[in-house]
């Protein structure tokens, strides 16, 4: 996307360098990276970054509207509603596809968003290692909003810890040491001091929660929540007994679980912006589009691309018994934007925001990127391919 940087990177790339980089990357956390790391970062200039941020800020304006809570109340499943919702999510992520418009120009198009954490720790560690093995211009960084490594980690710690000591804050997940993103958990632990706790390890006494730290019971006052109810429900039978986190518990949430639903695919039909594809609640469409092949059908309450219908036909619509839980989103034209030795790759860029409790609005902080040569972005859709997988976007400062 920055032709001269792309040419220079590709010309100097060797498989030997890539293997040395991977060995270095894995050495810090052996056996913890359970996904493919791409051969290359993405390079983006100031103009393209500004386009993505313009769309993000427009969505944030909508979130700040007084009408937003009522408009998104239906997004939260009744059985998954958690009490004591906070007035804001401390973390928001926006996924943009790098696309081609009708004029053949590159532009971002919003694919999804989430009021939920992503790889806020790993995206510090991984680019640090990348720079040790490949030449990245000093004026290109993974950070946004004026952040650098030190100021970003300072604010990340403050967002996660709040007013508490690190031992009073936990990262809560389902079997955290088995998750594909566990490398991010370990990085987060090392950068902030918070411990990883499985939902099955919570100890409840009345409204208070505890966990065992070095064999002693430790009070939990704040939870960095990584539990997704979709995953929890899928694994419920194998987990045995565990604390029901939808109870009235005496803990703070970062972010509160309800925001996973409020800022999500559910929100897309509420947004109008040139870089947000037209999206409709399926149950509110008076008439289906004439050319369904130009749309993607998505379930509102699924995760990681599960249940998405890319090549939509009338029969797919007719099979749906709960149209209120589905959206129809206009397809975007992903650009074959990154030249690689065995054919071009597509990419998505995730812009990640932080939102301290005393800030009026969130701030862009860091990013990740993913490269794909398949129909969908994501490791599971790109098996046995090269120059695909998890990456980072170095943005012109």
* 342 CB-side CA count, 13 A: 8
Q: Across-strand partners of 349?
A: 96, 369
Predicted local confidence at residue 377, as pLDDT: 66
> What pLDDT is attached to residue 374?
79
The DSSP-derived string for 230-271 is HHHHHHHHHH-S---TTS--S-EEES-TTHHHHSSGGGGGG-
CA gap 157, 104 in Å, rounded:
42
Cβ(392)–Cβ(368) below 8 Å: yes
Start-to-end CA distance of the chain, whole Å, equals 15
Share of the chain above pLDDT 90, in %: 90
pLDDT in tens, 197-213: 999 999 999 999 999 99
User: What is the per-residue pLDDT for 383?
Assistant: 67
Q: Measured between alpha carbons, how far is 134 from 19 in angstroms, rounded to an integer?
A: 12
- Six-digit token string for 276: 């947000």
With 0-12 / 13-18 / 19 or more C-beta atoms within 10 angstroms meaning exposed / middle / buried, residue 243 is: middle
pLDDT tens string 333-380 = 999 999 999 999 999 999 999 999 999 999 999 999 999 997 666 555
Handedness of CA 227, 232, 233, 234 (dihedral sign): positive
Residue 381 is predicted with a pLDDT of: 59
Query: What b-and-e string marks burial along 117-135, b requiring 16 or more CB atoms within 10 Å of the CB?
Result: bbbbbbbbbbbebbeebbe
Integer Cα distance of 83 and 207 in angstroms: 12
Half-sphere exposure of 196 (CA within 13 A, CB side): 18
pLDDT in tens, the chain (397 residues): 899 999 999 999 999 999 999 999 999 999 999 999 999 999 999 999 999 999 999 999 999 999 999 999 999 999 999 999 999 999 999 999 999 998 989 999 999 999 999 999 999 999 999 999 999 999 999 999 999 999 999 999 999 999 999 999 999 999 999 999 999 999 999 999 999 999 999 999 999 999 999 999 999 999 999 999 989 999 999 999 999 999 999 999 999 999 999 999 999 999 999 999 999 999 999 899 988 989 999 998 776 567 889 889 999 999 999 999 999 999 999 999 999 999 999 999 999 999 999 999 999 999 999 999 976 665 555 767 899 999 999 999 9
């Amino acid at each position: 996307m920055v032709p001269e940087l792309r040419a220079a990177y590709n010309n100097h790339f060797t498989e030997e360098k890539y293997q040395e980089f991977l060995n270095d990357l894995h050495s810090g956390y052996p056996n913890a990276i359970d996904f493919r790391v791409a051969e290359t970062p993405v390079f983006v200039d100031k103009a393209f970054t500004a386009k993505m941020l313009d769309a993000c800020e427009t969505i944030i304006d909508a979130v700040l509207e007084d009408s937003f809570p009522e408009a998104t109340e239906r997004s939260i499943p009744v059985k998954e509603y958690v009490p004591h919702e906070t007035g804001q999510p401390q973390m928001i992520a926006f996924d943009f596809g790098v696309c081609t418009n009708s004029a053949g120009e590159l532009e971002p198009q919003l694919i999804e968003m989430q009021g939920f954490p992503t790889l806020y720790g790993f995206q510090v560690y991984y680019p640090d290692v990348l720079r040790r093995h490949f030449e990245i211009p000093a004026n290109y960084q993974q950070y946004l909003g004026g952040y650098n490594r030190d100021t970003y980690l300072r604010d990340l710690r403050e967002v996660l810890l709040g007013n508490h000591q690190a031992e009073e804050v936990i990262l809560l997940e389902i079997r955290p040491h088995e998750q594909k993103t566990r490398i991010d958990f370990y990085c987060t632990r090392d950068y902030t001091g918070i411990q990883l706790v499985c939902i099955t390890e919570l100890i409840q006494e009345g409204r208070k929660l505890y966990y065992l730290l070095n064999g002693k019971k430790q009070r939990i006052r704040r939870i960095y929540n990584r539990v997704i109810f979709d995953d929890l429900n899928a694994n419920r039978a194998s987990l045995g007994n565990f604390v029901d986190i939808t109870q009235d518990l005496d803990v703070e949430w970062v972010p509160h679980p309800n925001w996973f639903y409020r800022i999500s695919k559910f929100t897309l039909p509420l947004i109008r912006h040139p870089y947000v594809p037209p999206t409709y609640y399926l149950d509110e469409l008076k008439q289906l589009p004439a050319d369904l092949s130009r749309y993607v059908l998505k379930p509102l309450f699924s995760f990681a691309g599960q249940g998405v219908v890319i090549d939509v036909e009338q029969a797919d619509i007719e099979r749906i018994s709960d149209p209120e839980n589905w959206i129809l989103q206009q397809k975007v034209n992903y650009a074959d934007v990154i030249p690689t030795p065995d054919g071009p790759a597509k990419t998505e860029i995730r812009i990640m925001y932080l939102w301290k409790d005393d800030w009026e609005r969130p701030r862009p902080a860091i990013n990740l990127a993913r490269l794909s040569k398949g129909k969908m972005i994501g490791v599971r859709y790109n098996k046995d391919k090269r120059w695909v997988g998890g990456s980072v976007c170095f943005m012109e400062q």
